[in-house]
Amino acid sequence: MIRPIIPLLTAALLFGIGVYGVLRRRNAVLVLMSVELMLNAVNLIFVTRDAIRQQMTGQVFTLFVIVIAAAEVGVGLALVLRLFRLRQNINVDEVPLA
Amino acid sequence: MTITLMDALMGAVGLVAVGAAVAVVSTQHLVRAGLWLVVALGAIAVEFLLLRAEFVAWVQVLIYLGAVVVLLLFAVMLTRAPIGRSADLDRPIAPAIFVGAGTGLGLAALFLRAFGDERAVAPPTGSAQRVGETIFSDWVLPFEVLSVLLLAALVGAIVLSKKDRI
């Protein structure tokens, strides 16, 4: 017997920490790291839900999320490097949006 | 109210994950943030193992610990980040702590209310065979779409990092 609430609480806290990191960090690479934390929190919820329901679907979607995270990080880092080449720093609050 | 060994292990690993995640978002050393991320993601992989999701756990180790973190550390190097402390990594704390704590504690309260006293028997092992059977019987179309997405991301990353103007 397991108590699903333990991994669920872990995931909730991880997601909150990820949100905090995205809003708090100025460096674009650190923002991407915080996004990874949030994605992992969601994966943990998927897998825990599988354990409750005795099924496999959540694990399949966890794999999909991992693949999407890999694609996201690849494109995101290409953007960060492009930004660095243009402006010599990667602080997200100094990016001109217009 | 019995706490089994599994629960204790899961709680301990969860504490490690949360602690490492706090270090990721609070350290002033860029490289150390990447290394703490390894600890956090590794702890989550252990948690997957404890929840019997073997295949997902090893994919997590391979892709996250192997590829994503290395990619992030490469980006840290390529943007010529200093090895020591950086002074200007953070923005004002007030909105971040407000929204972050609100989200985290709100979700935690929601889960406590919904699943607070739920118990689950040990789930079936999520071996590669079972996961593969589920993917290729129920989720073939998303799988194929995902492979196109990966190709698009690959092409996009190459185009973005080309030296000359597009």
ipTM reported for the complex, 2 dp? 0.92
Task: Please indicate if any CB of chain A lies within 8 Å of the CB of B144.
Answer: no
Report the SS3 class of residue A91: strand
- The residue among A90 and B108 whose pLDDT is bigger is B108
Task: Please indicate if any CB of chain A lies within 8 Å of the CB of B145.
Answer: no
Sign of the C-alpha dihedral computed for residues B104, B105, B109 and B112 taken in this order: positive
pLDDT at A89: 81
* Interchain pair A24, B25: CB under 8 A: yes
Q: Output the CA torsion B39→B43→B49→B55 (10° steps).
A: -40
Q: Name every chain B residue with its beta carbon within 8 A of the beta carbon of A19.
A: 99-100, 103-104
Contact A8, A48 (CB under 8 A): yes
Question: To the nearest 5 percent, what fractions of chain A are helix, strand and coil?
Answer: 80, 5, 15
State whether CATH 1.10.10.10 applies to domain A5-86. no
Distance CA A46, CA B108 (A): 15
Residue A75: closest CA among chain B residues belongs to which residue?
Answer: B157
Task: Please indicate if any CB of chain B lies within 8 Å of the CB of A98.
Answer: no
Shortest distance, CA A98 to any CA of chain B (angstroms):
20
**Most confident range, picked from A12-21, A76-85, B128-137:** A12-21
Task: Please indicate if any CB of chain A lies within 8 Å of the CB of B16.
Answer: no
Q: What band does B6 get if pLDDT is binned at 50, 70 and 90?
A: confident
pLDDT at A12: 96
Mean pLDDT, to the nearest integer, of A29-52?
Answer: 93
Contact A65, A39 (CB under 8 A): yes
